Amino acid sequence: MSLMLQEIREQPAALERTIQAEQKKIEKLGKFLIERDINLIVIVARGSSDNAALLGRYLFEITTGIPVSLCAPSVFTLYKANLKLNRALVIGVSQSGEGVDINTVLESAKNSGAFTIGITNQANSSMTKIADETLLTHAGLEKSVAATKTYTGQMLHFYLLAAALSGSESVYKKIPQFCETALRLESEVKELVQRYVFMENCVVVGRGLNYGNSYELALKLMETCYVVAERFSSADFFHGPLAIIERRFPVILFAPQGVTKQSSIDLLTRLNELHADSFSITNDQTIASLSGRALRMPPEIDEFLSPIPFIIPAQLFAAHLAEAKGINADAPRSLSKVTITV
Amino acid sequence: MSLMLQEIREQPAALERTIQAEQKKIEKLGKFLIERDINLIVIVARGSSDNAALLGRYLFEITTGIPVSLCAPSVFTLYKANLKLNRALVIGVSQSGEGVDINTVLESAKNSGAFTIGITNQANSSMTKIADETLLTHAGLEKSVAATKTYTGQMLHFYLLAAALSGSESVYKKIPQFCETALRLESEVKELVQRYVFMENCVVVGRGLNYGNSYELALKLMETCYVVAERFSSADFFHGPLAIIERRFPVILFAPQGVTKQSSIDLLTRLNELHADSFSITNDQTIASLSGRALRMPPEIDEFLSPIPFIIPAQLFAAHLAEAKGINADAPRSLSKVTITV
């Protein structure tokens, strides 16, 4: 069994550990930040961590009303700009804590008077030395090149912090159990991937809170299955990219119940007219019936809590598809675990 | 000749008209906004306009130090969030001025106390009625479904506004002439596209100020050539997507001289090791010599001013490739000119 598959299965326990270890601290941190009256949240990350940041963006804006800027690191590293961040909260996200560009942004933001947080899986990394506060993902060492348990751990921290900043209830406590349930789809996924062994291109669609998941599954499919995977929100997809869809073109959707449901139905209806090949991860009956294939998630998962449990079958899909394609998911060609960019 | 090609050629004149008609007004607007002491710029757009917004993000942050947030419209339209935007400048960008989601965000932002600007090509659109101030792209009616002259017109407005907000010189005045020069590459492009007639996938790479151009060329290739075109910054590309590159995989780069040069060189070196097929739009000798194919832009174009002239050969490439592939670029399958999403 691949390390990637092992690490996917470790997620419910890792998420539970993170809640236990970090909840109290983050509640205090939230109070401190509310007093500080921050007016902007900046999130800086790359790769899977940046996909987790996409969730953070929606969560913070929806629950706190504080605008979020997803940072372009080169503004700091290449263009040497000094941003006015004195009332900002700047959050760096890096599995290893060694992303040079991410840490450069944190340092620069600190010098501009921002309060900085590092979300990382490495307690003694460069990031923890720079950031004012560290939030650890208690995932244990991640050995697979393809991030899985650190991705969901980072997402979880955005839930914890958003709850603390908005003074709302800790509904996120249900997430580890939802993930446990999602893992039960594995045997179904293992059969399903056979159908996609010769897939070379695809589009992954997600919207709102699940937008980041569309990036993450696309990245997993690129890294571990060498599939050229595009990613869009269902809204953006209608602005041009729809033209690439022809008969049997595969489209994968994150399509939970909730506010994005109509958007998923509209897209699936159009895709069916174009005879595209659709596959949804969904907990909605109508969406499932409109989809060529569906992986059914429990209906009791509210859209607000769907992103973490919904990525689990997607991770399983990528890991098993890699195996079915005869690729070692743990050692993707051309990649290494820690990527240094400036 | 396609409408798209005609409209590509109209760009120098359209840009010149926009400078003449809008410069004075925007200088005044800049002074007003400086007095208002805005602390955040939010840009909201979809499709090509959103790709122009990517340039706006870098320009504003680099020249003014004011942080920029690229808006996720669904935060407003689906999740009904009320963002704290009382000291923000919120800029909507829409060719038609009829993007429902964009206009919804402008209205909501106005209610939150933000100052709003609409950048549009339609003087009597819904957007102009909502926004506090309108900046018109004087492109004339855009008949082709694929946006070209409105895209560069929108980009130009970001230059005008960034200069006004930072009190810097109007260096953008050189842009129409640079575009005129870029158009002279057309016969070379027309020959070059023959080599790509059977291209089905590709990756487009740009970084910093040219990051938006990588999205825009990818969108043009999807819309008008049905090529599955990925888009990345050269930094993000190393975080996973590199694994999809195999022998002869086509990668297209926007690679000007300047601060992003080393990043382009590093990527090309790696791509050459992997025997990828590379093609650069560049005004740098080293980058051209490392690239499989190169379209050479004038060396006197500074990186800061490169995004508008550099998209011209890319637009020509998409338009001529469509023709070579036997596709009518003016009538892409499945698309219409105005896209309504909520």
Average pLDDT, stretch A120-126? 97
Average pLDDT over residues A55-76: 98
d(CA B14, CA A319): 51
Rounded Cα distance, B221 and B231, in Å: 11
CB contact under 8 Å between B70 and A67, yes or no, is no
Same domain, yes or no: B166 and B198: no
**Domain contains A21:** yes
Sheet holding B277-282, edge to edge: B228-232, B201-205, B250-255, B277-282, B293-296
Domain end call among A173, A200, A223: A173
Asked whether residue A342 is assigned to any structural domain, the reply reads: no
Amino acid at B196: Y
ipTM, two decimals: 0.96
Indicate the residue among B114, B148, B173 that finishes a domain.
B173
In the predicted structure, residue B138 carries a pLDDT above the cut 80:
yes
| Same-domain status, A304 and A196 | yes
B257 and B130 both lie in a single domain: no
Residue A341 lies inside a defined structural domain of this protein: no
Q: Is residue B340 part of a domain?
A: no
* Residue A255 CB neighbour total at 10 angstroms: 33
- The tokens for B271 are 């791509």
Contact A65 B75 (CB under 8 A): no
Mean pLDDT over B23-45 rounds to: 97
A52 and A12 share a domain? yes
- Name the burial class of residue A293, with classes exposed (0-12), middle (13-18) and buried (19+) by CB atoms within 10 angstroms of its CB: middle
What residue numbers bound the domain in which B208 lies?
A: 184-324
pTM for this entry? 0.97
CATH number at residue A230: 3.40.50.10490
Name, in order, each residue with C-beta under 8 angstroms of A319's C-beta and a sequence gap of 6 or more: A2, A4, A5, A8, A146, A224, A329
How many domains does chain A contain in total?
2
- Report the relative pairing of strands A201-205 and A115-120 from DSSP bridges: unpaired
User: In a mutagenesis test of the B interface, which of A34, A62, A144 is the best target, namely the one with the most B β-carbons within 10 Å?
Assistant: A62
Q: Which residue of B has its CA nearest to A230?
A: B230
Closest Cα partner for A311 from A301, A323, A300?
Answer: A301
Write the residue in B46, B69, B235 that is nearest to A68 by C-beta: B69
Distance from CA of A65 to the nearest CA of B (A): 4
Residues 6+ apart with CB under 8 A from A309: A175, A178, A179, A181, A182, A297, A301
Quick check: helix, strand or coil at residue B304?
A: helix
Verify that B135 and B195 share a domain, yes or no. no
Same domain, A161 and A194: no
Residues A191 and A316 in one domain: yes
Per-residue pLDDT band for A332 (boundaries 50, 70, 90) equals: confident
Are B243 and A72 in contact (CB < 8 Å)? no
**Which domain-ending residue is among A142, A173, A204?**
A173
Is B74 in contact with A274 (Cβ distance < 8 A)? no
Asked whether the beta carbons of residue A260 and residue B74 sit closer than 8 angstroms, the reply is yes
B334–A219 CB contact, under 8 Å: no
> Is residue A149 within 8 Å of residue A52, measured between CB atoms?
no
Which positions in chain B touch A230 (Cβ < 8 Å)? 228, 230
Could you tell me if A203 and A255 lie in one domain? yes
Pick the residue of B69, B166, B210, B273 with the most A CBs within 10 A to test the interface with A by mutation: B69
Q: For B298-336, what is each residue's pLDDT tens digit?
A: 999 999 999 999 999 999 999 999 999 999 999 888 877
In a domain, B206, yes or no: yes
Q: Are residues B197 and B139 in the same domain?
A: no
Assigned domain for B234 exists: yes
Q: Provide the residue count of chain B.
A: 342
Answer yes or no: do A188 and A169 share one domain.
Answer: no
Q: Are residues B167 and B204 in the same domain?
A: no
What pLDDT is recorded for position A237? 85
The per-residue pLDDT for range B239-260, each reduced to its tens digit, is: 778 889 888 999 999 999 999 9
Q: Assess whether A125 and A239 both reside in one domain.
A: no
Chain A nearest-CA distance from B270, in A, is 9
Confidence class of residue B124 from pLDDT cuts 50, 70 and 90? Answer: very high
Q: Is residue B342 part of a domain?
A: no
CA distance B210 to chain A (A): 12
Nearest to A74 among B73, B84, B207 (CB): B207
Confirm whether A178 is domain-assigned: no
